[in-house]
Structure 1
Amino acid sequence: MMRYLTLCSIEMAKNLVKEFLETLKDIEEVDLFNAVGRTLAEDIISNIDVPPYDRAKMDGYAVKAEDTYEAEEDNPVELKVIGSLKAGELKDLKINSGECVEIATGAVIPKGANAVVMVEYTEKKENGKVKIYRAVPPMENIQFAGSDIMAGELILRKNTPLTPRDIGVLSAIGRKKIKVYKKLKFGIISTGNELTSPEEKLDFGKIYDINSYTLASYIKELGYDFEFFGIAKDDKEDLKEKIKKALKCDIILLSGGTSAGVGDLTETEIKELGGEILVHGIKIKPGKPTIIGKIEEKLIVGLPGYPTSCLTIFDVLFGNEKNVIKARFPQRYISARGRTEYLPVILVKYKDGFSAYPITKGSGAITSLSEADGYIVIDENKEILEDEEVNVHVFGDVKIGLNIIGSHCIGVDIILKEGGLFAKTINVGSLGGLISIKRGEADIAGTHLLDEKTGTYNIPFLERYKVEDAVLVRGYIREQGFIFRKELGFKTIKDILENIYNLEFINRNRGSGTRILFDKFLKDYKLSPSKIKGYTIEAKTHSAVATAIVMKKADIGLGIKTVADQYGLGFIPLADEYYDFLIRKDRFNDEDVQTFIKTLKIVKLPFKKPKDCGEVIWEG
């Protein structure tokens, strides 16, 4: 079958879904206990004033304001107390000139009173009088009837998603039940012979079903319902039976049912069940093979199998279009022209707003899904995105914590865990961290940059790059060296030098301190980078280097001894290095930053700690 000859635009696909959803807006009535997260199907107009009477905003004494005008701290006015009122009490009290009523917050203002003196500025006497030490103007400390909500006022509009705050307002005007739109119900089917349910043993060649649980959770977060119909094998009858069962739902989602072969099977079963294909192929990346069809009055959507692609396309078609945050895209990214690209990003909060960092591991990486706060849309005619403002379509709420951007180190993970801190850690290398501090994006940047001329770590780079409004806190000493499989039998640097051109190397990313150290090693020994096999293959973390060596994707790489020990690999030391922390001055006294520094000082780490660990060693 010739597939994807005509790709539809994403706007056409969104409009198809939008038109279908408009046909499903049935209305039901629910009580307030079950209304949160639902969408209002009516305008809400108050039929009462809130508050319904004039009431005291403070504990004190209800008075005639003019009786207090002469009151001063050293010359108080005395008024006769004719009674008291608590919240909810009804008494027929009326004050005349020279009189007052003791009153509690929320109590009805008695007749004749036009102000309340706070209890802090009074002194009650045993003779039934009270001394007033401060004058009050008319209307002071009184909340008047209808000052919050007036009868006849529109307080909530139709199509408003209801929050706990909205429920409070509805209860304040005496509404017990409200009209809302019925919840959409999604039927979820995962497809693929390779899928296994999470509670089952994972056999070789199988993977656990991720998409069903991700989609179900997001559907609930959007305020909808779902039913899971299981995993369908790549089998015609199995898929058909599960689709037939799911037809009791409003919308059926098939994840992984779009790839070559399986996509044809999905299309065939939709048609055999009397349905039609509306879309097979959308001009987007990722998600090109997405299928949209109908059986009777039920919509069927075939989503990509990769988790990040699956969630992104679902959000594009069914998510909240208004859940968008403006952010600055600080890096350079090259997009493929000809298809609209949906690029997953991590959001970082800084003093002037948000920055969006791209996740480039690919939509098949599980961590792409867990790290992504949302995605940006790159137009099909745009090729380069660089240092510009973008709109980030957010997956739910954005988690805000410390922003740690810079060099990777397992010590940071230990400090965060032991300190009970939440943080977004983005591994862009030491230089990338330094730049992110200058831009005001990172709170903390781990750095280990060796200056070749002085042999000093970090400080020469801070001065060279004119870093301002930041401090450098002493961290710890790491042992850097060559990591390799023990079977290679290397004992000394000389052994490595004799074999280096015959080994498959795994390098670190440009801008990282480890990369700078390796380049210095090559220069010192007059070795040519172009002759190093794998010199251009980069890993972003020490753990990634070790994993590549264990899996025999590479023979050797540069990293820290702690990781070599952790993975059971051989290690030959090259240099001791200072891994320090660059911190923005305006964040230095933040509670989380201080907790990070205190934990750094006391936590047990697999590295040597100098005497000045946790102390400021440079200020810019």
Structure 2
Amino acid sequence: MRRIFRSLVSIEEAKQKLEESLKIERKVEEVSLRSSYGRIIAEDVYAPIDIPPFDRAAMDGYAVRAEDTFGAEEDKPIRLKVVGRIEAGDKPEVEVNKGEAVEISTGAAMPKGSNAVVMVEYTSAENGDVLVFRPVAPGENVIAAGSDIMAGELLVRKDTRLTAREIGTLAAVGITSVKVYSKPVVAVISTGNELIDGGELEYGKIYDINSAMLCAAIEENGGKAVYLGIARDNEEEIRKMIEDGLKTADIVLTSGGTSTGIGDMIYRILDNLGEVLVHGVAVKPGKPTVIAIANNKPVFGLPGYPTSAFMIFEIFVAPLIRRMAGVSKEDSRLKAKLSSRVFSALGRREFLPVNIVKGEGYTAYPVTGNYSAAISKLGEADGFIEIPESRAFVEEGEEVEVKLFSTLKPADLIIIGSHCVGIDVLLELMRKGKPFTSKVINVGSSGGLAAIRRGEADIAGVHLLDAETGEYNAPYIKRYGLRGVVLVKGYMRDQGFIVARGNPKDIKGFDDLLRDDVTFINRNQGSGTRILLDMHLKKIAEQRGVKLEDVTAKIDGYTIEAKSHTAVAVAVLMGKADVGLGIRSVAERYGLDFIPVRGEEYDFVIRKERFEKDVVKRFLDTLRSEEFKKELEKRLPGIRAYEKTGEIIEFT
């Protein structure tokens, strides 16, 4: 039976329900000092002894009575009788009387009667005596007992995170164990018939992403993760795993099985085991979230999509773990301007992952597509913005607050534009030399040119075909009014028809797309591939004396758009389409046939002032290198360097 969500609650309502139903207890345990790094200490710690516990010599030299050295000069030294020697760690058995001295090592305990140390550099040994050429004041070159730490002094305050500094201080006073807050144990369960945990990937199966991601996030927030495994879509199996988690853990997390689809059972199971507080939160991503209390312990049913699961974890679970572990975490936030308009769903608060790029200020590039399902999108993001329930969209250029996932580290090289696997090969070769960091943001060729204009990108990858001239990229630089930039010729990519092995529909050209027995998969508007297609279809329309719309209306699938060359190939591979337009490399990757149409010029636009950056110079050197040419030929069929690769065209 399909269950419709209960009335959605806001994030604040969900947190309040959890707070009212849960009594937070911080457990305390005692651990050895050597294993306490990173733990949160659960009590104030006071010094049981003085440090140092005795007066000790700060220098190698002679322990003396300071008054015996008064008047000593280089040409008129004072002679003292040496009555003993003390090394570090020795218990002094000798006493210094008037006119006497004791040879002493750095760190050694001062003998009775002495109150200063003459540095060995200002002395000279002679027949069992020592000549002192410089006077010392009382206390000179002596570290007094308790001068570092005094007995009873507060050393470490409760709720402090123990680092090497605090641990060193505690070790100094002889403390060997400390009381710390116990790490809350969090049981992690994944659910779904489609999941496997490693091994060969069968068709229709996917690897379990969420368990590894959530276990890492639990540890990162101060908890101890216990992975219980994958439960199939079987009510008894899921129930048994949750019950096992409730016996051994302080918090239980499940992922998957929370929406309204057939076979989703988490809500029903938790309703039987305890009390469901929340079923559905007005948030995007993560609406189908379940929060329950069972055995006086919180249980969270997270969505199955990785980004959705992570965001709900960050909103509800991470603060709870930190609170139970005594861990505090300061949110890192910054202000940025949005790179493009973003539409949101009214009535749901949206947490949108973004990339951050620094130009004149910070710019936030939204992660596009179905980011709730795509783990790679989350991995690439620097943080997220929060869009209120009352906003239907956020305007391009509007200032937003970005909550960072971690400390923002500016990349050495920023490439924004249309993505190509050739760039990945190029960057890989660059890393063989001096280490550097890079950030590649894929927003399409037009987005890359806009980023160059704003000064956010060092390099933009572009492949825009001008339908009027048949020329790539240069006309668009002029059209965008970009100045102070150069166009660096990149490499060629073979564009053509991607068809099933053996070309069963005998596709030969663009006219075949209009046949009744042919289904087509198109590319998204604004892509270079789509421009190439429409350019050829326009020629067909002119030849037939009809409008372009009449021609496109005859193509079965013209309105079905894929956002990447890979998506086109997969559609053909799965039989969803007979043909699509794309690049040779993806056709060969999926074992499909390829019918060439023309070579596409993939180039790079660079601001002139960035040419002096070392990493940009290395990029260009690698682009022009023989090694890059050979790697393209070996690894990426249909992508090749040519005679113009590396050629520079200036735009003033």
Q: Which moved more, 1:518-527 or 1:281-290?
A: 518-527
State the match for 2:184 in structure 1: 184
- The answer to whether the Cα contact below 8 Å between 2:9 and 2:278 also exists between their aligned partners in 1 is yes
Give 2:454's aligned residue: 439
In structure 2, how many angstroms separate the alpha carbons of the residues matched to 1:334 and 1:161?
41
CA distance, structure 2, for counterparts of residue 184 and residue 388 of structure 1: 40
Instruction: Establish whether residue 391 from structure 1 lines up as the match of residue 401 from structure 2.
Output: yes
CA contact (8 A) 1:452 1:520 kept: yes
- Indicate conservation of the 8 Å contact 1:185/1:250, yes or no: yes
Give 5+ residue unaligned stretches, structure 2. Answer: 59-73, 79-103, 111-115, 125-134, 139-144, 320-328, 634-638
Unaligned runs of 5+ in 1: 57-77, 102-109, 114-144
SS of the aligned residue for 1:219 comes to helix
Cα deviation 1:239-263 (Å, max 9, x = unaligned): 3322222122100112113233788
Q: Which moved further from structure 2: 423-432 or 261-270?
A: 261-270
Structure 1: distance between partners of 2:77 and 2:611: 55
Aligned to 2:299: 300
What CA distance in whole angstroms lies between the structure 2 residues aligned with 1:477 and 1:170?
64
Whether 1:404 and 2:411 are equivalent positions in the alignment is no
Q: In the aligned structure 1, how far is the partner of 2:414 from the partner of 2:11?
A: 34
Helix, strand or coil: the match of 1:278? Answer: strand
- Asked if 1 retains the 8 angstrom alpha-carbon contact of 2:571 and 2:577, the reply is yes
* Identity among equivalent pairs (%): 46
Offset from partner CA, 1:337-385 (integer Å, 9 cap, x none): 1122223334445563352322322423343444444433221111002
- The residue aligned with 2:580 is 557
The C-alpha deviation readout for 1:124-164, integer Å capped at 9, x for no partner, is xxxxxxxxxxxxxxxxxxxxx99999999999765455556
Output the CA distance in 2 between the equivalents of 1:245 and 1:489. 59
Please say if residues 408 and 541 of structure 1, whose CA atoms lie closer than 8 Å, have aligned partners that are also in contact.
Answer: no
Secondary structure of the equivalent of 2:441? strand
Cα deviation, residue 165, structure 1: 6.8
Between the aligned partners of 1:87 and 1:351, the Cα distance in structure 2 is 56
- Aligned pairs for 1:306-385 within 5 A: 306-319=305-318, 322-326=330-334, 327-348=336-357, 350=359, 352-385=361-394
Corresponding residue for residue 242 of structure 1: 241
For 1:182-331, list aligned pairs within 5 A. 182-199=182-199, 202-247=201-246, 248-260=248-260, 265-273=265-273, 275-319=274-318, 322-326=330-334, 327-331=336-340
Letter in 2 for 1:575: R
Look up the match of 1:596.
Answer: 619
Instruction: Report which stretch shifted further, 303-312 or 150-159.
Output: 150-159
2:299 partner amino acid: I
Partner residue in 2 for 1:489: 506
Q: Which residue of 2 aligns with 1:38?
A: 39
Q: CA RMSD in A?
A: 4.5
How far does residue 278 in structure 1 lie from its aligned partner after superposition?
1.8
* Equivalent residue pairs, number: 557
SS in 1 for 2:341: strand
Deviation per CA, 1:14-41, whole angstroms, max 9, x where unpaired? 3444567762212334444333333343
Q: Give the residue type in structure 1 aligned to 2:310.
A: L
Deviates most, 343-352 or 400-409: 343-352
CA contact (8 A) 1:429 1:513 kept: no
What TM-score does the superposition give when structure 1 sets the normalisation length? 0.75
- Secondary structure, aligned partner of 1:231: strand
Distance 1:552 1:173, change over 3 A: farther
Call closer, same or farther: CA 1:450–1:269 in 2, change over 3 Å. Answer: closer
TM-score under structure 2 normalisation?
0.72
Give the structure 2 partner of residue 14 of structure 1: 15
With over 3 angstroms needed to count, the CA separation of the structure-2 counterparts of 1:519 and 1:235, relative to structure 1, is closer
Matches of 2:464 and 2:55, distance apart in 1: 69
Q: 1:596 to 1:43 in 2, by over 3 A?
A: farther
CA contact (8 A) 1:17 1:317 kept: no
d(CA) in 1 for partners of 2:650 and 2:148?
54
Q: 1:458 is matched by which residue type in structure 2?
A: N
CA distance in 2, matches of 1:9, 1:524: 54
Q: Secondary structure at the match of 2:566?
A: helix
> For 1:483-522, what aligned pairs fall within 5 Å after superposition?
483-485=498-500, 486-491=503-508, 495-500=509-514, 502=516, 503-522=518-537
Given that 1:222 and 1:319 are in contact with CA atoms closer than 8 Å, whether structure 2 keeps it comes out as yes
Q: CA deviation at 1:552?
A: 2.7
1-structure distance, mates of 2:204, 2:492: 42
Contact 1:270 1:293 in 2 (8 A): yes
